[in-house]
Structure 1
Amino acid sequence: MTEVLETTSGSSPRTRMNKRILTLAATGIGAAGIAFVVAGAIVFGDFGIAPDFSARLAAPSWAHWFGTDQFGHDMFARTVHGLNVSLWVGLIAATLSAFIALGLSVFATTCGRWADMLVSFLVDATMGLPHLVLLILISFALGGGTHAVIVAVATTHWPRLTRVLRAEILQLRHADFIVVSRRLGKSWWYIGRHHFLPHLLPQLLVGLVLLFPHAILHEAGLTFIGFGLEPTKPAIGVLLADSMRYLTAGNWWLGLYPGLSLLLLVLCFDAIGNGLRLLQDPRQAHR
C-alpha cells in the first residue's frame, strides 16, 4: 500500500529530501569554487603575471599544474587571474542588467498602458536582434576594453528577466492587499516601492545569479574574437585566443585548462542559481 501511494504521489518523502540535499550540496560546492577563485587571485598576487622565459611552453607538471605559455607564465595562476577578471566583469554587468530589468518591469506595470507597450516593444526588439552581433556592435562602437564589454553585456541581457519580473508584478496587481492599497488612495508609484519591490527581490536575486553565466561567457567570447578586454589582461578570452597559435604544435594545455575552468565556473553559478530557486520557491522546496 505504501509503495502504491509513493508511486501515485510521484516520489517518496525520502526521495524529495535526497533531491533537496543534493541541490543544496551542489550549491555549496559552487559557492566554494567561486570563493576559491577570488581567494586564489589574492594569494597569487603578481605570480603568473611576470614572464619566465626559462620555463616557456612547459608541459603540465607538479611545478606547473596547467603548464606554461609562450612567455613562461604559469597557466594555473593566469587561469585563476582570468577567472577572477571574468567574475568582476560579470558581477558588474549582470548587476546593471538586473537593475535595468527591475526598473523597466516596474515602469511597465505602474505607468499605464503606453509604458507597458513601450517596454514590450523594447524587449521584443532587443530579443529579435542577433545577440552576438549586437554585443560586437556595442563593444566596437565604444572602442573595446573593459568598460565597453560591461556596457555591451549589461544592455543586452535584461529582456528575459524583464519579462519574468513583469509577469510577477501583473499577478501581484490583482492581490487583495494591492486592491485595498489602491482603494485607500495609494499611487502606483507608492505601491511599486512598498509592495512590488519586496516581492520581487527573490526573483531578482535568482535572475541576477543566472545572468552571471551568460555575462561571463559573452565576455570571454567578445575577448576571444578581439572585441573585448585588453590583450594585456589575463582574461580567459585572451588565454584562449593566444592558445590558438600553439595548439597545432602540440601545446594542448594552453587551451584545454582555461576552457575547462571557464566551464566549471559557469556550472558553479548554475548550481547556485538552482539552489536559490529551490530555497525561495516553497512549491519547489517540498517536491
Structure 2
Amino acid sequence: MTGKSRSCFFLNRRQSTLLFLLVSLVILAGITVAGVLLEEQAAVTDFTRTNLAPGRAFWFGTDWMGRDMFIRTIAGLSLSIRIGVLTAAVSAAAALVLGTAAATLGRRADSVISWCIDLVMGIPHILLVMLISIACGRGFAGVVAGVSLSHWPSLARVIRGEVLQLRNTPYILVAEKLGVSKLQIAGRHMLPHLFPQFLTGLILLFPHAILHEASVTFLGFGLSSEQPAIGVILSESMQYLTTGRWWLALFPGLSLVLVVGLFALLGERVRYLLDPSSVHE
C-alpha cells in the first residue's frame, strides 16, 4: 500500500484535531439544548420512586424526592455551560479592551490598568466571586457578575504583552508617522493579530468560569436552590452520602469534571490549530 493510499485512511494531526473540535462542539451543544428542553422535567417529583439506585429505568438513580438524577444532571450542566459562555465572553471582551488600552493609551493608563490587574489577581478567585455575588444579590445575576469581573486579568495581561510587541513592528510605526489615530491602528492592524490569543483565552476561560460558578453555588452564595444547578445538586446530596446514596453526588460531580475537561481540551486544540507551524502537520 502506497503512502498516498494510506493517507486516505488515516487523518493527519491537524485533521484529527478538527474532527475532535467538531465532535466536542456537537456534544456540548447537545447537552445545552437538551438541558433547556428538560428543565421543567428536572423539577418533577414522584414519591413512589424515591432513592432508587442507578439502573435501566433511571441511569443516575433518583433522589429523596423521586426526581430523575440523569435529567437533573443534564439540566444542571446546561445551566453551567450557558453561564460559562456568558461570563467567559464578558471577561474576554473586558480583557481585550483593557489589555489593548493599557498598551496604547500611554503610561498613566498603563499604570492604572496594571494596578487593577495586580489587585484583582491578588485576591483569591473564589473569595472575589463570593463577595461580588453577595453584593449583586446572589442568584443568576450575582454569579454572572462575580465570575465575569474576576476572570479577565490574566488574559488582559497576555493581550497587553502582545500589543506592546506589535507597537514596535514597522507597519505600526509607519502608520503612526502617517498620522493614523490610535483607535484605527488598534482596530485595523492589531486586532487581527490578537485574535488567536483572544480566542484561545476565551475558550480556556470556560472551565474556570464553570468551576467557580459550581463552587460558589455549592457554598450557598450563588444560584438559588430552586434551580437545577450542579452546585445545588452536589450541595443537597452531601447530607445523604452517609446513608449510602453515593449516586446523588458521584454522577453529577463526574459529569461536571468531564465537561470542564472537555472545555480545557478544546482550548488546547484551538491553540494548536492557530499555531502556523501546525499547517504542515
1:146 aligns with 2:140: yes
Preserved contact between residue 66 and residue 74 of structure 1 (Cα < 8 Å)? yes
Preserved contact between residue 29 and residue 268 of structure 1 (Cα < 8 Å)? no
Once residues 42 and 129 of structure 1 are traced to their aligned partners in structure 2, the CA distance between those partners, rounded to angstroms, is 34
Structure 1 residues 64 and 36: alpha-carbon distance in aligned structure 2, compared to 1, 3 A threshold: same
* Aligned 1:120-269 pairs, distance under 5 A: 120-269=114-263
Q: CA deviation at 1:44?
A: 3.0
Q: CA deviation at 1:19?
A: 4.4
Q: CA deviation at 1:33?
A: 2.2
Q: Which runs of 5+ in 2 are unaligned?
A: 1-10
Q: CA deviation at 1:142?
A: 1.8
- If the length of structure 2 is used for normalisation, what is the TM-score? 0.92
Cα RMSD after superposing both structures: 1.6
Deviation per CA, 1:92-138, whole angstroms, max 9, x where unpaired? 11111011101101111111011111111111111111222111111
Structure 1 stretch 27-36 or stretch 169-178: which is displaced more? Answer: 27-36
Structure 1 stretch 177-186 or stretch 36-45: which is displaced more? Answer: 36-45
Once residues 205 and 104 of structure 1 are traced to their aligned partners in structure 2, the CA distance between those partners, rounded to angstroms, is 16
Structure 1 stretch 250-259 or stretch 124-133: which is displaced more? Answer: 124-133
Larger relative contact order (Cα-Cα within 8 Å, sequence gap ≥ 6): 1
* Aligned 1:56-71 pairs, distance under 5 A: 56-71=50-65
Q: Percent identity?
A: 47
Once residues 164 and 98 of structure 1 are traced to their aligned partners in structure 2, the CA distance between those partners, rounded to angstroms, is 11
Preserved contact between residue 30 and residue 271 of structure 1 (Cα < 8 Å)? no
Q: CA deviation at 1:83?
A: 0.5
Q: What's 1:4 paired with? A: none
Three-state SS of the structure 1 residue aligned to 2:168 is coil
Structure 1 residues 28 and 267: alpha-carbon distance in aligned structure 2, compared to 1, 3 A threshold: farther
Question: Aligned to 2:107, which of 109, 113, 124?
Answer: 113
Q: Which runs of 5+ in 1 are unaligned?
A: 1-16
Q: CA deviation at 1:42?
A: 4.2
Read off the aligned partner of 1:145 and give its amino acid letter.
Answer: G
* Aligned 1:272-283 pairs, distance under 5 A: 272-283=266-277
Three-state SS of the structure 2 residue aligned to 1:48 is helix
- If the length of structure 1 is used for normalisation, what is the TM-score? 0.90
Structure 1 residues 283 and 163: alpha-carbon distance in aligned structure 2, compared to 1, 3 A threshold: farther
Once residues 255 and 221 of structure 1 are traced to their aligned partners in structure 2, the CA distance between those partners, rounded to angstroms, is 14
Once residues 99 and 206 of structure 1 are traced to their aligned partners in structure 2, the CA distance between those partners, rounded to angstroms, is 13
Q: What's 1:8 paired with? A: none
Preserved contact between residue 30 and residue 267 of structure 1 (Cα < 8 Å)? no
Three-state SS of the structure 2 residue aligned to 1:54 is coil
Q: What's 2:5 paired with? A: none
Q: How many residues align?
A: 271
Q: CA deviation at 1:272?
A: 1.4
Q: CA deviation at 1:202?
A: 2.1
Preserved contact between residue 77 and residue 256 of structure 2 (Cα < 8 Å)? yes
Preserved contact between residue 161 and residue 207 of structure 1 (Cα < 8 Å)? yes
Structure 1 stretch 192-201 or stretch 244-253: which is displaced more? Answer: 192-201
Deviation per CA, 1:242-285, whole angstroms, max 9, x where unpaired? 10011110000000000011011111111211121111111355
